[in-house]
């Protein structure tokens, strides 16, 4: 059966469907020896020889869904040009090639999903679905109430207004802890938002992705999602 190339690449666990499109456009994908650089091209994963960067794709694998508690000091990419430790190095005893869904900064900790299911990765990253992610942040100083209201309402970052956010105080100290829930994930978004109101983040931990939380997961440990959790994520809809 002929299927879109980006789906075949995502299903083989190489990367998400969106990233696969970038690989195709960059001319890094060949089908039976010919570069295919157009989106929408199809191939037959059973019979065609599909290569990414010269490497033959393996057949679709069993889908794996992992929830990792990332410690500070790990990059959330599959490889790192600076040779820093990656989240993948924490995944022991899983033979499938998984990759992280979205990012957590090197200096951030907390929950991150890893999978080889390009379809689900794509869904969770899509703006339309707007999966909420909740962070606990320790701030350098106490923010003003009106500044928090600005962040909740939306501020302009990179020329685009941020989506509404929910913020609540967790502990009032000279370096207070706050909880913030976002439905989008721009680069360093939480840090940049608090920076904007003059209260830099000194610690950042992601504590929830959609409905997924896990207090029992020690830093550096991961667990497989249950079939019910996977089904619930797959049918996740943005709240109106």
**Binding status of residue 124 toward ligand URA by CB under 6 A:** no
Q: How far apart are CA 34 and CA 205, in angstroms?
A: 45
Among 188, 196, 203, 223, binds ligand URA (CB under 6 A): 188
Check binding of 179 to ligand URA (CB under 6 A). Answer: no
Rule CB under 6 A: choose which of 108, 116, 122, 134 binds ligand URA.
108
Judged on CB neighbours under 10 Å (0-12, 13-18, 19+), 70 is: buried
Q: Which of 105, 147, 174, 215 is catalytic?
A: 105
Binding segment toward ligand URA, per CB under 6 A, in 61-69, 92-100, 149-157, 187-195: 187-195
Q: Does 150 bind ligand URA (CB under 6 A)?
A: no
> How many residues sit close enough to ligand URA to count as binding (CB under 6 A)?
8
| 162 part of the interface to ligand URA, by CB under 6 A | no
Q: Report helix, strand or coil for 30.
A: strand
Structure tokens at 135: 């962070």
Contact between 70 and ligand URA per CB under 6 A = no
Decide: is 131 part of the binding site for ligand URA (CB under 6 A).
no
Pick the piece of the chain touching ligand URA (CB under 6 A) from 26-34, 115-123, 158-166, 186-194.
186-194
Should residue 204 be labelled a site residue for ligand URA when binding is judged by CB under 6 A?
yes
Is residue 105 annotated as a catalytic residue, yes or no?
A: yes
- Are the C-beta atoms of 163 and 148 separated by less than 8 Å? no
Choice from 105, 140, 179, 229 touching ligand URA (CB under 6 A) = 105
Closest approach, Cβ 105 to ligand URA, in A, equals 3
CA distance 166 to 125: 19
Which ranges constitute the DSSP H helices of the chain? 5-11, 17-25, 118-125, 145-153, 189-196, 227-234
> CB of 48: closest distance to ligand URA in angstroms?
39
Helix (H, G, I), strand (E, B) or coil at 117: coil
**Least distance from ligand URA to the Cβ atom of residue 3, Å:** 33
Helix 145-153 / helix 189-196 crossing angle, nearest 10 deg: 140
CA angle 133, 135, 141 (to 5 degrees): 145
Quote the Cα angle for 216-221-225, to 5°.
75
Q: Rule CB under 6 A: is residue 24 a binding residue for ligand URA?
A: no
Residues that bind ligand URA (CB under 6 A): 104-105, 108, 188-191, 204
Q: What are the catalytic residues? A: 105
């Amino acid at each position: 059966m002929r299927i879109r190339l980006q789906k075949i690449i995502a299903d083989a666990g190489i990367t998400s469907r969106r990233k696969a499109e970038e690989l195709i456009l960059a001319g890094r994908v060949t089908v039976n020896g010919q570069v295919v650089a157009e989106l929408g091209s199809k191939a037959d994963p059973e019979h065609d020889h599909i290569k990414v960067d010269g490497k033959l794709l393996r057949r679709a694998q069993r889908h794996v869904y992992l929830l990792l508690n990332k410690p500070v000091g790990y990059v959330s990419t599959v490889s790192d040009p600076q040779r820093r430790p990656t989240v993948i190095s924490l995944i022991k005893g899983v033979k499938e090639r998984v990759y992280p869904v979205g990012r957590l900064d090197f200096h951030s900790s907390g929950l991150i999903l890893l999978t080889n299911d390009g379809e689900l990765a794509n869904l969770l990253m899509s703006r339309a679905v707007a999966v909420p992610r909740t962070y606990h942040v320790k701030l350098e100083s106490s923010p003003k109430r009106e500044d928090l209201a600005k962040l909740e309402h939306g501020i302009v970052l990179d020329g685009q207004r941020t989506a509404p956010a929910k913020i609540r105080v967790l502990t009032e100290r000279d370096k207070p802890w706050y909880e913030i829930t976002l439905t989008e994930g721009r680069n360093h978004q939480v840090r940049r938002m608090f920076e904007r109101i003059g209260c830099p983040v000194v610690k950042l931990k992601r504590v929830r992705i959609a409905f997924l939380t896990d207090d029992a997961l020690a830093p550096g440990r991961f667990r497989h999602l249950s079939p019910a959790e996977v089904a619930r994520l797959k049918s996740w809809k943005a709240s109106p």
